[in-house]
Structure 1
Amino acid sequence: MAEPGSTLDRSRIHRALSRPNLLLGADRELVLLTGLAAAILIFVVLTPYSALFGVAVWVVVVAALRMMAKADPMMRRVYARHVGYRPYYRPTSTPWRRF
C-alpha cells in the first residue's frame, strides 16, 4: 500500500477479474455439462426411476466437483494441459536414467 503522501500510482483490481469462474461452488463448464447429461438421461428415458437416478448422479457429481474446486479452482485446466503435454514430458527424470 502506498502512503498517503506518496507519489506512487494506485490501480484498483476488481475481484470479478481475478476470481475463478464457478457455478454452485464448482467449475462452471463441468457443472453445466453434467446437468445437460442428467437432463438428457431424464428426458430420453422418461421414467420416474431415470429421473431419480439422473438427479442423484448430478448431485453426487456436483459434490465431487465442489471438492475438486475447493482444492484448486483451476484443476480442470491444469489437468487438461497435463494431458496435452504428456507425450513431451515423461514421468522419469531423464531418458538415460538407469533402473
Structure 2
Amino acid sequence: MALRAIPIRRAGNRDNLFMGGDREFVMFSGLVAGALIFSAQELRAAIVGITLWLCSLYLARLAAKSDPKMRFIYLRHLRYRGSRVGNLRGYYPARSTPFRENPNSQGKQYR
C-alpha cells in the first residue's frame, strides 16, 4: 500500500506580513509616526514622522526579507540577554517543555 501524498498549500502556510514587513512592527511604527504628526501639527513634525515611518518600513522589509520571523528571534534574544548586558550567561540548557522534571544526576553534569 503506497503512502498518500497530501499537498500543503502555500496560501495557508504564509507568514503574517503587511507591506512587506512584520505586521505588528509596521503598524506600530505607523501609529507612532501618526501620533507624532497629529499631536504636534507642524510641518517639521510631519516631515520627521513620515521619515521615521519610511525608515522603519525599510528596516522591517529588510528584516522580513532575511527571515520573516525575525521579530520573534529578536524578542527571544532580548529575553536571553536579560535587562542588562552584564546579565549574560555562558550556557543556556535545552528545555523540551517547561514542565520537565530533571533528575539530580542530570543537573550535576553541567555545573
Q: TM-score, normalised by structure 1?
A: 0.76
Which residue of the other structure, out of 55, 73, 81, is the alignment partner of 2:76? 81
Distance 1:93 1:66 in 2: 32
Distance 1:51 1:85 in 2: 37
Q: Which residue of 2 aligns with 1:25?
A: 20
Q: Which residue of 2 aligns with 1:13?
A: 8
Report the CA distance between 1:10 and its aligned residue.
2.1
Report the CA distance between 1:93 and its aligned residue.
5.1
Name the amino acid aligned to 1:62.
L
Name the amino acid aligned to 2:4.
D
Distance 2:58 2:91 in 1: 36
Distance 2:60 2:9 in 1: 26
Distance 1:63 1:41 in 2: 19
Distance 2:65 2:91 in 1: 30
Q: Which residue of 2 aligns with 1:45?
A: 40
Task: Render the CA deviation track for 1:11-57: whole Å, top value 9, x for unaligned.
Answer: 12121222211111110100000000000001000011111110111
Q: Report the RMSD for the aligned CA atoms in angstroms.
A: 2.5
Name the amino acid aligned to 1:37.
V
Q: TM-score, normalised by structure 2?
A: 0.69
Question: RCO (CA 8 Å, sep 6+): is it higher in 1 or 2?
Answer: 1
Identity, % of aligned pairs? Answer: 38
Name the amino acid aligned to 1:10.
A
Q: How many residues align?
A: 90
Name the amino acid aligned to 1:72.
D
